A and B are shown apart, each in its own frame.
Chain A
Amino acid sequence: MTALVLDGVTKRYGATTAVEAVDLTIPDGTLVCLLGPSGCGKTTLMRMIAGLEAPSAGEIRMGSETITRVPVHKRGFGMVFQSLALFPHLSVGDNIAYPLRLRGESRGTIEARVRELLDLVQLPGVEGRAITQLSGGQRQRVAIARALAVAPRLFLLDEPLSALDAKLREAMQVELRLLQERLGITTIVVTHDQREAMTMADQVVVMRGGRVLQMDRPIEVYRRPATPFVADFLGQTNLLQARREDGGARLASGAFLPDLALPSDTALLSIRPEDVILLPEGEGPIAAEVEFVRDMGSAVEIYLRAGEARIVAHREAGAAVAPTGARVSLGIRPGASSVFPAEAA
Chain B
Amino acid sequence: MSAAPSRPSGGQAALVFPGLMLGAFFVVPFGLMIAVSFFQRVQGGFYEPVLTGANYARFLSLFFGEILLFSLGLSALVALVCLLVGAPFTYLLARLPRRAQVPWLVALLAILSLSEVIIGFSWSTLLSRTAGVSNLLVALGLMASPTAFTPSFAAVLLGMTYQALPYCVLVLYPSFSRLDPSLGEAAQTLGASPARAFLTVILPALRGALAATFVVVFVFALGSYLLPQLLGRPQHWTLSVLITDQAIYQSNMPFAAAMAVFLVLASLLLVSLAALFGAKRAGNAA
A residues contacting B by CB (< 8 A) are: 50-52, 71-73, 75-79, 81-83, 85, 87-91, 98-99, 102-103, 130, 132, 146-147, 149-150, 156
B192 at the interface (CB under 8 A from A): yes
**B20 → chain A closest CB, angstroms:** 37
**B174 → chain A closest CB, angstroms:** 15
Chain B contact residues, majority secondary structure? helix
Q: Is the Cβ of B180 less than 8 Å from the Cβ of A83?
A: yes
15 contacts between A and B (CB under 8 A): A52-B185, A73-B193, A76-B191, A78-B189, A79-B186, A79-B189, A83-B182, A85-B182, A87-B187, A87-B204, A89-B284, A89-B285, A102-B190, A147-B189, A150-B190
Measured between beta carbons, the chain B residues less than 8 angstroms from A72 are 185, 188-189
Q: How many angstroms between the C-alpha atoms of A89 and B190 in the bound complex?
A: 16
Q: Is the Cβ of A73 less than 8 Å from the Cβ of B191?
A: yes
Measured between beta carbons, the chain B residues less than 8 angstroms from A85 are 180, 182-183, 185-186
B286 at the interface (CB under 8 A from A): yes
**A72 → chain B closest CB, angstroms:** 4
How many residues in B have their beta carbons less than 8 Å from beta carbons of A?
Answer: 24
Measured between beta carbons, the chain A residues less than 8 angstroms from B286 are 130, 132
Q: Is the Cβ of A88 less than 8 Å from the Cβ of B189?
A: no
Measured between beta carbons, the chain A residues less than 8 angstroms from B197 are 73
Q: How many angstroms between the C-alpha atoms of A67 and B186 in the bound complex?
A: 19
Q: How many angstroms between the C-alpha atoms of A130 and B286 in the bound complex?
A: 5
Q: Is the Cβ of B201 less than 8 Å from the Cβ of A50?
A: no
Q: How many angstroms between the C-alpha atoms of A75 and B190 in the bound complex?
A: 9
Measured between beta carbons, the chain A residues less than 8 angstroms from B186 are 79, 81, 85, 87
Q: Is the Cβ of B187 less than 8 Å from the Cβ of A98?
A: yes
Measured between beta carbons, the chain B residues less than 8 angstroms from A79 are 186, 189
Contact of A89 among B180, B185, B189, B205 (CB under 8 A): B205
Q: Is the Cβ of B188 less than 8 Å from the Cβ of A73?
A: yes
Contact of B189 among A77, A82, A83 (CB under 8 A): A77
Residue from A71, A77, A90, A146 having most chain B Cβ neighbours under 10 A: A90
B58 at the interface (CB under 8 A from A): no
A78-B190, A79-B186 given; name 19 further pairs at CB < 8 Å. Answer: A52-B189, A72-B185, A72-B188, A76-B191, A81-B185, A82-B182, A87-B183, A87-B186, A89-B205, A89-B281, A90-B285, A91-B285, A98-B200, A102-B192, A130-B285, A132-B286, A146-B190, A149-B190, A150-B190
Q: Is the Cβ of B281 less than 8 Å from the Cβ of A50?
A: no
Q: Is the Cβ of B190 less than 8 Å from the Cβ of A98?
A: yes
Measured between beta carbons, the chain B residues less than 8 angstroms from A132 are 286
Q: How many angstroms between the C-alpha atoms of A220 and B196 in the bound complex?
A: 45
What 1/0 mask marks residues of chain B from 257 to 286 whose CB sits below 8 Å from any chain A CB? 000000000000000000000000100111
Residue from A50, A83, A87, A99 having most chain B Cβ neighbours under 10 A: A87
Measured between beta carbons, the chain B residues less than 8 angstroms from A52 are 185, 188-189
B207 at the interface (CB under 8 A from A): yes
Q: Is the Cβ of A89 less than 8 Å from the Cβ of B204?
A: yes
CB contacts under 8 Å to A, within B198-229, are 200-201, 204-205, 207
Shortest Cβ-Cβ A-B pairs, 6 listed: A85-B186, A99-B190, A85-B182, A72-B188, A79-B189, A81-B182
**A201 → chain B closest CB, angstroms:** 22
Contact of B205 among A82, A87, A103 (CB under 8 A): A87
Residue from B186, B197, B284 having most chain A Cβ neighbours under 10 A: B186
Measured between beta carbons, the chain B residues less than 8 angstroms from A81 are 182, 185-186
Q: How many angstroms between the C-alpha atoms of A98 and B192 in the bound complex?
A: 9
Measured between beta carbons, the chain B residues less than 8 angstroms from A75 are 189
Q: Is the Cβ of B207 less than 8 Å from the Cβ of A89?
A: yes
Q: How many angstroms between the C-alpha atoms of A81 and B205 in the bound complex?
A: 17
Nearest B-chain residue to A98, judged by Cβ: B190
Q: How many angstroms between the C-alpha atoms of A88 and B204 in the bound complex?
A: 9
Q: How many angstroms between the C-alpha atoms of A51 and B190 in the bound complex?
A: 12
Q: How many angstroms between the C-alpha atoms of A229 and B17 in the bound complex?
A: 63
Q: Is the Cβ of A103 less than 8 Å from the Cβ of B191?
A: yes
Q: How many angstroms between the C-alpha atoms of A50 and B281 in the bound complex?
A: 32
Measured between beta carbons, the chain B residues less than 8 angstroms from A77 are 189
Q: A73-B193, A81-B182, A102-B196 are in contact. Are A87 and B188 (CB under 8 A)?
A: no
Q: Is the Cβ of A102 less than 8 Å from the Cβ of B191?
A: yes
Q: How many angstroms between the C-alpha atoms of A51 and B197 in the bound complex?
A: 15
